[in-house]
Amino acid sequence: MPIGELKVANTPRLQGENSRHARLLADVDGVLPAIIVSQATMEVIDGAHRLRAARLHGESEIEVSFFTGSEADAFVLAVHANTTHGLPLSREERLAAARRITSTHPDWSDRAIAKYTGLSTKTVAATRDCLTAVESRLNKRVGRDGKARAVDSSRAREQAAALLGARPDASLREIARAVGLSPATVSDVKARLSRGEAPAVGRGELQRTDSTTALDASGAGAILDSLRRDPSIRSSEKGRALLRLLDTGVDRRTREQLISGIPAHRIPAVAQVAQMCARNWQEFAAQLASLPQHSI
C-alpha cells in the first residue's frame, strides 16, 4: 500500500514514536512483518515504527493487513500488540491504556483487560475503582455490570434522540459518548423512535425493565427451566427454536474461558458480532415488553 496514504494516530504511546527504535528497524536486513491498518480510517494500529523505518529507507509502499472494527476495538488491538512484540509499552502507558479500555469497555472483566494491557488483575481493578469514584462525583451510578450510567437518564435520552435525528450517519457509540449513555441505551432510544414512541422510558416501563435487569443468573435459569417445561412452548417448532436460542446465555466464568481462547487479532471482530447480537436481543426484549400481557 502507498505509504503516503497512511496516518499515525490513536497510539497508546504517550511520547509518540521512538526515533532510535525506528532507526534500528531500518537497519534490519530482511522483510519486516506487515503493519496493521484500520480500513476505515487508514490509521496505523500496529507498526508505526516499521512505517517510519520504511520511510527512512525511501520506500514508497509497505505491506499492510487491514482491520475492520470500531476505534475503541482498534485501540485494544494496538495495546495488546505492543505488549507482546516490538518496543514494549512503558508501565505508565499501559496504565493509561487500562484506564481508557475500562472506560470504553466497562463490561469487560478485570482479567480480560489485564490480559490485553500486560498488567496484573489487581492493578486493573484498582484502575476501575478510581474511575468509578470519579464517575460517582459526576452524578453517575455504576451498575453490577460495571457500566456507569446517569441516575436520571431521561434528559440524556432526549439529547440522544435529537442527535439521532441531526446525525443519522453517526454510530451508536458516538452518540452514546456525546450524551453519556451506553450504546445499548442509545439503541433502545433509536428503536423507540422507529416505533413512534417517546425516547424516555415511562414509569411503568422503567419498573418492568428494572425487574428484568435485576435478575441474577439463578433467577434467569429458573425462568428458563419453567419455559422448557411449558407444553405451549416446547410443543411447537417455533417454541423449541426459541428455547435453543435462550439456552445460549454465557455466564461470567464461561465468558472468561472463551475470551482466553480468542486470538488477539480476532478479538475486535468477535466483540463486534457480540455487540450486534446483544443489540438484537435488547430490541427483541423491548418489542416483547411493548405487547399486551395477554399476547405474550
pLDDT at 117: 92
Average pLDDT, the chain: 77
pLDDT at 208: 40
Q: Give yes or no for a contact between 240 and 230, defined as CB atoms under 8 angstroms apart.
A: no
Q: Which of 95-99, 214-218, 249-253 has the highest mean pLDDT?
A: 95-99
Neighbour count for residue 88 (Cβ, 10 Å): 12
The model's confidence at residue 19, banded by pLDDT at 50, 70 and 90, is confident
The model's confidence at residue 183, banded by pLDDT at 50, 70 and 90, is confident
Distance CA 12, CA 179 (A): 25
pLDDT at 296: 42
Torsion sign, CA atoms 45, 47, 53, 54: negative
| Three-state DSSP state, 17 | coil
Q: Is the pLDDT of residue 237 over 60?
A: yes
Q: Is the pLDDT of residue 175 over 50?
A: yes
Which tens digit of pLDDT belongs to each residue from 108-129? 888 889 999 999 988 988 877 6
Q: Which of 90-104, 166-180, 216-230 has the highest mean pLDDT?
A: 90-104
pLDDT at 152: 56
Q: Is the pLDDT of residue 105 over 80?
A: yes
pLDDT: which is higher, 204 or 14: 14
Which cell numbers hold the place of 219?
433467577
Half-sphere exposure for 197 (CA within 13 Å, toward CB): 15
Q: Is the pLDDT of residue 146 over 80?
A: no
Which tens digit of pLDDT belongs to each residue from 32-79? 888 899 888 899 988 888 888 888 888 888 989 898 888 888 899 999
The model's confidence at residue 294, banded by pLDDT at 50, 70 and 90, is very low
pLDDT: which is higher, 212 or 112: 112
